[in-house]
Amino acid sequence: MRRFLRSAMIVFSWFVVPYSRYTNIKVIRRKLPPIRSHLLEIPAVDLAKLIRNRKIKSEEVVEAYIERCRQVNPLINAIVQDRFEEALEEAREIDNVIAMGINSVESMEEHTPLLGIPVTVKESIAVKGMTNQAGRVFKTPQIAKADAPVVEQIKRCGGIILLVSNTPELCLLWETYNNVTGQTKNPYDLKRTPGGSSGGEAALLASGASLLGLTSDIGGSSRLPAMFSGIWGHKPTPYAVSFRGHHPTSDFPKWGDFFTIAPMTRYAKDLPLLLKCMSDPTGPKLTLDKEISANGIRFFFMDNDGPSGMMRPLSRDLHAAINRVASDFNAKRVNIRKMKWSLDISLSAMLTMKNIETIYHKTEEGEQPKTVCKETVKYFFGCSDSILPSVIFGHLQNFMKIIPNSRHKHLASIIEALKTEFKELLGTDGVFLYPTFPNTAHQHYQIYHKLLEPMYMAIFNTLGLPVTNCMIGLDRRNLPMGIQVVANPGQDHLCLAVAREMERRYGGWVRPPSEDSHSHAQSSSKR
């Protein structure tokens, strides 16, 4: 089976790479407009303080982000629907309330810590009155009738929802395109993907068009886009954030063990603030206010998956960067042998979950349910409304049904053994450094011959561990590199403390190439 999958990826590459290069001929190699407003480069924790203290107005901030969205979206194609006018009106109301002095600065900081800050949301998360169809083609637009609980919490904390952003159909791909909004592009190189499924959010954040983003994660959907786009994405401890109000969803009892709504930010120092505002009051309590120094944390690391022989080795730049980080933090190299089963146990756990929303389960009123075989034929004749991952997901589920239960039980026992091993290794003061993906952002569609590599991330959904993608610099192509920081359940604060220290050491987010910098480089070379 393993040899078959690895061979299949090689065969796929014979078709995928030429197709990717062909489609990229149509993509114009342009740079983004330069960031000119200083308001766009202030972290949320600092921006909120300035708004509370009447140093700047929320309306000014929202206007700056709206302008930036309008500048970059024609290039990156990340916005599905905006609510710019409503956001400006909400900002003016907030400014008026602050000017009246009804609440003290201390009260606003405690009860509305996001007051006046714009927030963007992945379109698969329900925002009342906004489209909420996760990239699926419907004859009648699907509009959210109510906010997801996490969106309600952001609004209660004073956040202003600016827009909903692009996602692959039903969040079923580590790249962001669908047949409704089209393809989202990476701000660092428009010929490359920002990853998926939260690629719309990542592209906006990296472009300076967003500051805080609500995303989701079931197999790296927040972390891969964060890595490819040079920002910060955190998968929280299971159930710490409500997963309700998201498409796709499932009524499978353990759905929340694997899936979560997740924070994504441009600055690491903003992750604790956003996660605190997102946290479910009825879920596990996270000690996000706990002050902790990286010096008090034990570090462990691996720079491969066992090795299993299934996944590609790291690129030369990533291998050097991850080992440099390990050295900088005095991390101890470990060999967790069961990590080589990442692919097997993750696929077994996730694809055997029942009642997951797919194109075969939920249809519009009056529409006949789709069948796997018919939809596959329609797709290959160019007649399907869906993208390939949505079509083949049904085949994967059917394939899992023919695997003997004894095999699934054996893999489940490996999951429990791995959970125990991490629990004993990390305790309450340890983190594990691990690759996010073996290469930096690749060209569009090339994920199709790298479908095994996301198991570097999916394994931590399977194990139910909190994990943060951290930006650790640029490679030789000036593309962002990332590393995962993993902790035991409930120890999210350790991941976030390490993220802040990595931001301090390695600089964090870097402006994507802009027209100004490109022109300056050209003029310098002429001189």
Structural domains of the chain in order of their starting residue, each with its CATH number:
33-361+368-506 (3.90.1300.10)
Residues 235 and 315: their CA atoms lie apart, in Å, by 24
Report how far apart, in Å, the C-alpha atoms of 220 and of each of 311, 323, 344 are: 15, 22, 16
What burial letters (b/e) apply to 268-281, b meaning 16+ CB within 10 Å? bbbbbbbbbbbbbe
Residue 28 has a pLDDT of 84
pLDDT in the model for residue 365: 67
What single-letter amino acid sits at 440? T
Q: Cα separations (Å) of 191 from 70, 71, 172, 317, 403?
A: 20, 18, 21, 20, 39
Strand pairing category for 177-178 and 182-183: antiparallel
Q: Tell me what pLDDT residue 524 has.
A: 36
Based on the residue annotation, tell me whether 197 is a catalytic residue of this protein: yes
Our answer to whether residue 221 is catalytic in this structure is yes
pLDDT tens digits, the chain, 527 residues: what are they?
Answer: 677 777 888 888 999 999 999 999 888 889 999 999 999 999 999 999 999 999 999 999 999 999 999 999 999 999 999 999 999 999 999 999 999 999 999 999 999 999 999 999 999 999 999 999 999 999 999 999 999 999 999 999 999 999 999 999 999 999 999 999 999 999 999 999 999 999 999 999 999 999 999 999 999 999 999 999 999 999 999 999 999 999 999 999 999 999 999 999 999 999 999 999 999 999 999 999 888 999 999 999 999 998 888 888 999 999 999 999 999 999 999 999 999 999 999 999 999 998 899 999 866 766 788 999 999 999 999 999 999 999 999 998 888 889 999 999 999 999 999 999 999 999 999 999 999 999 999 999 999 999 999 999 999 999 999 999 999 999 999 999 999 999 999 999 999 999 999 999 999 999 999 987 544 444 333 33
Nearest Cα neighbor of 274 from 61, 484, 48 is: 48
pLDDT at 1: 61
Given the residues 197, 250, 308, 390, select the one marked as catalytic: 197
Q: What are the C-alpha distances in Å from 485 to residues 163, 294, 299, 322?
A: 29, 12, 9, 11
Q: Out of 20, 31, 58, 122, which one is annotated catalytic?
A: 122
Q: Which one of 20, 198, 216, 221 is the catalytic residue?
A: 221
Please provide the size of the chain in residues: 527
CA atoms of 278 and 244, how far apart (whole Å): 12
Residue given tokens 């100004």 in the structure block: 516
Per-residue pLDDT at 366 = 65
3-state secondary structure 240-257: CECCCCECCCECCCCHHH
Which pLDDT score is estimated for 523? 37
Look up residue 182 and give its DSSP letter.
E
Beta strands in 361-474 (DSSP E): 430-435, 467-474
Q: Known catalytic residue: 370?
A: no
The overall average pLDDT reported for the chain is 94
